[in-house]
Amino acid sequence: MLNEGYNAQCASVRVHCTNAQQLGQRKLSLLTLALGTFCIGTSEFASMGILQLFADSFAVDIPTATHAITAYALGVVLGGPAVTILAASLNRRLLLLGLMALFIAGNILSAVSTGFPMLLFARFLSGIPQGAYFGAAAVVASYIVGPGQGGRAFALVMTGLTVATIFGSPLATFVGQLLGWRNSYLAVSGLGVLALLALWIWVPRASALDGGPVVQELEALKRPAVWAMMAVAALGVASIFAVYTFIGPLVTDGAFLAPGWTPIALGLFGLGMTAGNLLGGRLADTHPSRGLIAGFGCALIVLAVLGAGGGHVWILMLGLFGVGATMMVAIPTIQIRLTQAAPDAPALMGAMNLAALNVANAIGAWAGARTIASGYGLLSAVWAGFGLTLAGLLLFIFISRTGRRRVGGESAAIALGQGGLQPTESK
């Protein structure tokens, strides 16, 4: 009896240890995916923090310098879906490794650029892996956390990007101010090497992560609901970039603060994004529409306050936190709606989501640059973002109501058919 009890106790301990090891493995895998998005987010957002530095280095004005931001966004928009489709049959682990290697190469090229045209090309190259990485990482994260938690999985992947806005981007900006903007990109490349090694070690080697036929991915692009949600994302989220692109000038030339305040402003924006992302992941799994409506709606209020009083330091700082928080509430919902529209192509939908967000990046940076260049002042970029987010919210409401009417009409027709009656054709 004693031996049986002892053996049972040992078996229980072994099971507990095995479960603990599996849990630890899952956590390390998720942290590794987030480390990759941290590197990508640091590279993307650091460019905005060092915008003035490379503008001075290449003797271009601020509106022209924003073309480097646009070039990166264009790389994401074109590269994400294209790479995902071309690599549809590739195992997601191998795809992540290849994408991170390309990311490292693009940032090294950015650091050694000898002219502004070369920097534009390097930023375009750096942007190509982003959308495909997020799409593949979302698939791997969903595999790790299990079914029914797609919003949480995407939020976990996005956490690396939002944390990058708290620590990565401000640190890269500080490095750029202290050691030169080229060293910012070199530091990001070093982080990319660490992420590449971590992906090699900790991402699961599983046949469940194998890709599928290219035709399956292409079929998803024929669905109007996919393009409708991408339009909502591109318009609605643009205000993040209309504000974030010009944080440096808003701090130094708008609120008349020392350049040392710029990393603090970037960090506050990132704290808001992280908080909003965590809330948005939960809302996306439970209330797929409310997260987007609440996020865009609250963002409009914050943008109006920031646009009216952003010249005052505390309104500026609180407004930056608020814009980051409210906009990020909506983004996991966008991913869920895209996946619902094309459940057979989750990796492509992740890439399309990031493509839409980088269209938002390009639109927001362009709109803000145009209003500033037209002489309306730095805070006009905030109002440009307000108009774009309002357009995105109105489009989503229109799409949702149109969809409900269509579904309601189809349900009524089915009910009539089941009752033995045929609906009359409208005159």
Please tell me which of 15-29, 141-155, 248-262 the model is most confident about, judged by mean pLDDT.
Answer: 248-262
Q: What are phi and psi of 113, to 5 degrees?
A: -60, 135
CATH fold of the domain at 26-404: Growth Hormone; Chain: A; (1.20.1250)
Q: Which residue has the higher pLDDT, 8 or 58?
A: 58
> Mean pLDDT lowest for which of 54-58, 72-76, 351-355?
351-355
Residue 389 pLDDT grade (very low, low, confident, very high; cuts 50, 70, 90): very high
User: Using an 8 Å Cβ cutoff, are 37 and 158 in contact?
Assistant: yes
| Residue 348 pLDDT greater than 70, yes or no | yes
Q: Would you state the pLDDT for residue 422?
A: 37
Q: How far apart are CA 414 and CA 357, in angstroms?
A: 38
Q: Would you state the pLDDT for residue 21?
A: 52
Q: Which residue has the higher pLDDT, 146 or 345?
A: 345
Q: What angle do CA 68, 64, 306 make, to 5 degrees?
A: 90
| Residue 144 pLDDT greater than 70, yes or no | yes
Coil, helix or strand at residue 118:
helix
- Give the Cβ contact number of residue 10 at 10 Å: 10
Can you read off the two tokens belonging to residue 34?
């987030």
Mean pLDDT of the chain: 82
Average pLDDT of the segment spanning 38-62: 86
Question: What's the N-to-C CA distance of the chain in angstroms?
Answer: 85
> Mean pLDDT lowest for which of 17-31, 95-109, 349-363?
17-31
Q: Which residue has the higher pLDDT, 219 or 214?
A: 219
Can you read off the two tokens belonging to residue 6?
């002892």
Q: How far apart are CA 331 and CA 128, in angstroms?
A: 20
Cα–Cα distances (Å) from 406 to 293, 311, 401, 411, in that order, read: 21, 47, 9, 9
> Mean pLDDT lowest for which of 65-69, 152-156, 308-312, 337-341?
152-156
User: Using an 8 Å Cβ cutoff, are 284 and 328 in contact?
Assistant: no
Q: Residues of 316-338 as b/e, b for ≥16 C-beta within 10 angstroms?
A: bbbbbbbbbbbbbbbbbbbbbbb
Q: Would you state the pLDDT for residue 420?
A: 39
Q: Which residue has the higher pLDDT, 392 or 424?
A: 392
| Residue 1 pLDDT greater than 60, yes or no | no
Q: Which residue has the higher pLDDT, 400 or 181?
A: 181
- Give the Cβ contact number of residue 167 at 10 Å: 15
| Residue 147 pLDDT greater than 70, yes or no | no
- Angle between helix 67-86 and 346-373 (nearest 10): 170
Q: Would you state the pLDDT for residue 357?
A: 82
Q: Which residue has the higher pLDDT, 115 or 425?
A: 115
Residue 330 pLDDT grade (very low, low, confident, very high; cuts 50, 70, 90): confident
Q: Does the pTM of the predicted model rise above 0.75?
A: no
